[in-house]
Amino acid sequence: MPWYLYLALKQLFPTGRRFPFFTAISILGVALGVALLVVSTSVMAGFGHEIRRMIVDTQGDVQVRADGLVADSAGLAATVAKVPGVVASTRFAAGLVQVRFGDKRLYPTLQGVDIEHINGVIPLDSYLRRATLDDLDDDSVFLGIKLYDLLGASIGESIDVFSPMLLDDSRADVVTLPRSLKIRGVLEIGHQALDESTLLVTMRTMQDIYKLGGATKGLNLKLADNEDPDAAARRINAVLPPGVHAASWLTNNQDFLSILQLEKNMIFILLLFIVIVAGFSVTSSLLISVVRKTREIGLLGALGANPRQVAACFCFQGLIIGLGGTVAGLALGLGTLHYRNAIITVFTKLTASREAMDRFYQFSQLPSWTTTSDLVLIVSCSVVISTLAGLLPAWRAAKLKPVEALRSE
Amino acid sequence: MLRASGLKKSYLSGDRRIEVLGGVDLAVMAGESVCIRGESGSGKSTLLNLLAGLDAPDEGLVEWEGTEATADRRARHLGMVFQSFYLIPELDALQNVLMAARMLGVPGAAERKRAAELLARVGLAERTSHLPNQLSGGERQRVAVARALMNAPRLVLADEPTGNLDERTGDAVVDLLLGVCRETGTALVLVTHNAAHAAKAGRALFLHGGRFA
């Protein structure tokens, strides 16, 4: 290896010294910054990933809606089934209702399930607890697990469901009784808001309660793997009749997804300042090193080193600290992510804040999603910042004239 | 081998310009040992720095075998020994000696063998893995001598190499330097205050008022 790289390594890890303190502190500073970046971007990406998964799992890849109601869902399904990339469709209808159990009243969203086709689009069975989809009939209901807890009901008990259509009936002096439905199971999506507000019934029951007749609100579509949802939506729109529109889950949730990405980017930029501060600490350490080693720098000149090689020696020290800090930071960050739920459990136990965490952060487990692109960005930023941190000391060292450096006290 | 002609050098001290060298001529032949004596501040170290190409003269010219002194040529053809040893504290004795070879490329087995032999020649065969802070002043200077000879230079410039040593150790170091240079046919320019050391060199010069007396 070239002498300047050799000497850079020796100055950071001197022969015969077991623990190079200054090097360790510099590496630790970079490592902490990198670890925080890895943890925060992964957790933010995890929230985003969970939300995206939840959206797709509850709405499908593409949603087809009419300006009003869709009277011929079967015909519409047959039309979109011919579009390349569409692998399955299911009818959907949803609306707010009032639920009464004993003296408790809540206002969840009632969703009609197309039992024959739903599992082709939405993996409903994987969210069901203590029941299967076959248990759902026209007189029964599945409750979101939090809604189930809030009502304090039990499987097998009945709840009353009041539709907003009752208001229309009362204006016409017609008395309509609420629909009594037996609880057959619970579903746990893992997202607090949905688990508190979801009520699943068969499509016929939904149509009956909302007086839809045979109509639905539209179709949820499942696309083939790796199919671009926006491109598929454009192809579907080309075959849809007037007044019916297809939109991908990306388009339907564009603002929300933009906010998620913006939040992730902001956190990345803010935490990057920790690496920048660590970089300044590396600069400071190396500047002190240049001052301490002034006479050695003079000696290197006497041995035949040119200023560029002397500069490279200090630049490499910044780079080595950056690489060491980045590797240590990645290990620390990925290790923390691996044990994140155990850490959160201990933290929430110590602070008695489990319930608040669940309510505020919506997810029952702290999600994490580490992408290669995020890691590449973090590693690049860390290594570049650390190398830049070595530039000023390198410039100072290169500027020293050997004669003056040798004479320095 | 080394030719310096009309070397002038002055420094600014406040508003005053102090002339250190006022036109020095010097020629050193291959294998020759030359001693330069002089009072403190007479310009001995300045002259040595100019001869090494570490500093540029205000006027005059330094040539090594007919060409100008450069950093690369310094690494290949010149060895230097200083009063303050200037060993790299993070490297052991062998690594310090090998540092001179590293300036020319990655040292191989031959260079390692030569470094070990040089350390043995200066009496430090048992101390190759010792760090500078584990060596005495005389031992450090001997490591510096071995380093100066590592690349088999044509010329060694020694700037008061006994200045930080006691008399007996200083004598030993000068004898070693002169002996090794004589054995290897290396030219030596030795700057010293010590008349006894000067007497051991092939030629002695006295620098006074920026000129050879």
CA distance A19 to A23: 9
Residue from the list A1, A3, A10 with its beta carbon closest to the beta carbon of B103: A3
Average pLDDT over residues B121-129: 84
Q: A301 and B54: CB-CB below 8 Å? A: yes
Residue from the list A11, A302, A402 with its beta carbon closest to the beta carbon of B90: A11
CB A138 within 8 A of CB A202: yes
B40 close to A (CB below 8 A): no
Residue A361 is predicted with a pLDDT of 60
Residue A292 is predicted with a pLDDT of 85
Q: Which residues pair with B79 in a beta bridge?
A: B156
The pLDDT tens digits for A282-311 are 888 888 888 888 888 888 888 888 889 889
| Alpha-carbon gap: A30 to the closest alpha carbon of chain B (Å) | 24
Residue A300 is predicted with a pLDDT of 87
Q: A403 and B54: CB-CB below 8 Å? A: yes
Q: Which residues contact A364 (CB under 8 A, 6 or more apart)?
A: A190, A192, A358
Q: Which residues contact A329 (CB under 8 A, 6 or more apart)?
A: A30, A31, A32, A33, A34, A35, A37, A38, A382
CB B193 within 8 A of CB B36: no
A339 close to B (CB below 8 A): no
Share of chain A above pLDDT 70, in %: 94
Residue A160 has which token pair? 């009353």
CA distance A42 to A51: 14
The pLDDT tens digits for A52-68 are 877 888 788 998 988 88
Q: Which residues pair with B10 in a beta bridge?
A: B19
A373 close to B (CB below 8 A): no
- Confidence class of residue A372 from pLDDT cuts 50, 70 and 90? very high
B32 close to A (CB below 8 A): no
Residue A357 has pLDDT above 80, yes or no: no
CA distance B55 to B193: 22
- Give the residue on A whose Cα is nearest the Cα of B85: A299
Average pLDDT over residues A153-161: 92
Q: A406 and B92: CB-CB below 8 Å? A: no
Residue B14 burial (CB < 10 Å; 0-12/13-18/19+)?
exposed
B58 close to A (CB below 8 A): no
Helix, strand, coil fractions of chain A, as percent rounded to 5: 60, 20, 20
A14 close to B (CB below 8 A): yes
Ramachandran area for residue A360 (φ above 0: left; ψ -120 to 50: alpha; else beta): alpha
Residue from the list B76, B78, B92 with its beta carbon closest to the beta carbon of A15: B92
B49 close to A (CB below 8 A): yes
Domains and CATH numbers, chain B: 2-212 (3.40.50.300)
